[in-house]
Amino acid sequence: MQVITNVEGLAPFHGGLFVPTMGALHEGHYTLVRAAAQRRAAMSGNARVIVSIFVNPTQFNDPKDLARYPRTLNTDAAGCERAGADVVFAPLPEVIYPPGNPVPVPELPDVAFHPRLEDAHRPGHFAGVCQVVKRLFDLVRPSAAFFGEKDWQQLRVIAAMTIREHLNIEIVPVATVRESDGLAMSSRNAFLSPDDRARATALSQALRVAQDCSTSKQAESAMLEVLRSRGITPEYAVVRDAATLMPLAENRPRTAPARALIAAPVGRIRLIDNLPWPA
Ligand code: PAF
């Protein structure tokens, strides 16, 4: 497996199966790489699996978060190789953001600023995500790109942005990978104190309790109760339309997919998680 840092090196991989990441990779990311490798095995032709590792400064609201984001390129590259990647693209910031040549932010789709979920709590975040993902798509020119369902609003924003920009790239969602006690895998979990790590299981427990409720109002109250019983005050714990992430309309068809979503600080670490609603 190759590690490349320049744009010219990407040419042989155009049309490939792409997994964009910021590094500090864990099983959740390797599951995306394996999903891409499985797709490669099922395809005729010679599409390759490309993983990008780039810590994108424009999507961080807090400079301290950016500074402490772990940089573990060698370990990440070895893991990507084991998971079946053909190449890792690890560009320097000036390759993605060439000095004197501003990278445009695509027009944001409604789902990036109407729901008042991640958009409200992380102002500017989706502008940064869309900017870097569009730039990476332009450089890597994939046929399909793989994103984890854990960042559900991000997944919906990127899917909508890809359609709006007529990019002709398939966006493939991949189910969240969980620890054995239900905690969704995240690079942030490593920063939880032992006590907070134990309390963090409340997020997935609350989402599962919500799945058994018959109305969205009951589901939202049930999630709050579970979280508060563990000393957690969420930023949001809601049931929304799975595609638009807007509140469920009274007259919505019972078959329209919905999603329960939570964001909550646990100690000093902000966690997010979501599940389909109802089960
Ligand atoms: O989900 C992530 O790791 C990042 O937001 C992404 C999609 C790689 C863009 O920097």
| 3-class secondary-structure state, position 86 | coil
| Those residues with Cβ within 8 angstroms of residue 155's Cβ, 6 or more apart along the chain or in another chain | 147, 148, 149, 171, 173
How far, in Å, from the CA of 201 to the mean position of ligand 1? 24
Evaluate if residue 256 carries a pLDDT over 90.
no
Residue 29 bears catalytic tag: yes
Q: Percent of the chain scored above 70 by pLDDT?
A: 100
Going by the DSSP 8-state scheme, the letter that residue 241 receives in this structure is E
Average pLDDT of every residue of the chain? 96
How far, in Å, from the CA of 215 to the mean position of ligand 1? 33
- Place 249 in a pLDDT band, splitting at 50, 70 and 90: confident
Considering only CA atoms, which residue is closest to atom 3 of ligand 1?
A: 21
How far, in Å, from the CA of 149 to the mean position of ligand 1? 12
CB 70 within 8 A of CB 187: yes
- Place 166 in a pLDDT band, splitting at 50, 70 and 90: very high
Evaluate if residue 65 carries a pLDDT over 90.
no
Ligand 1 in reach of 171 Cβ (< 6 A) = no
Instruction: Single out the residue of 39, 259, 66, 34 nearest to residue 149, CA to CA.
Output: 259
Using DSSP, how many helices (H) and how many strands (E) does the chain show? Answer: 10, 9
Please give the number of the atom of ligand 1 that sits closest to the Cα of 55: 10
Q: Which two tokens stand for residue 243?
A: 């595609």
pLDDT per position as a tens digit, 112-154: 999 999 999 999 999 999 999 999 999 999 999 999 999 999 9
Evaluate if residue 254 carries a pLDDT over 80.
no
H helix intervals, the chain? 27-42, 63-68, 73-83, 93-96, 118-121, 125-140, 152-164, 194-199, 201-211, 216-229
Run of H or E including 274 = strand 269-277
How far, in Å, from the CA of 56 to the mean position of ligand 1? 8
Ligand 1 in reach of 275 Cβ (< 6 A) = no
Peptide bond into 257 cis (omega under 30): no
Q: What is the mean pLDDT of residues 11-39?
A: 97
Ligand 1 in reach of 21 Cβ (< 6 A) = yes
pLDDT per position as a tens digit, 184-224: 999 999 999 999 999 999 999 999 999 999 899 999 999 99
Evaluate if residue 85 carries a pLDDT over 90.
yes
Run of H or E including 137 = helix 125-140
Ligand 1 in reach of 20 Cβ (< 6 A) = yes
| 3-class secondary-structure state, position 19 | strand
Evaluate if residue 257 carries a pLDDT over 80.
yes
Other C-beta atoms lying within 10 Å of the C-beta of residue 24: 19
- Whole-angstrom Cα distance, residue 127 to residue 201? 30
* Candidates 14, 26, 29, 121; catalytic one: 29
Please give the number of the atom of ligand 1 that sits closest to the Cα of 21: 8
Ligand 1 in reach of 220 Cβ (< 6 A) = no
Q: Which two tokens stand for residue 49?
A: 């699996």
Evaluate if residue 45 carries a pLDDT over 90.
no
Say what the pLDDT of residue 131 is: 98
Evaluate if residue 250 carries a pLDDT over 90.
no
Evaluate if residue 279 carries a pLDDT over 90.
no
Going by the DSSP 8-state scheme, the letter that residue 252 receives in this structure is -
Say what the pLDDT of residue 251 is: 79
- Whole-angstrom Cα distance, residue 123 to residue 59? 9
- Place 175 in a pLDDT band, splitting at 50, 70 and 90: very high
- Whole-angstrom Cα distance, residue 190 to residue 8? 35
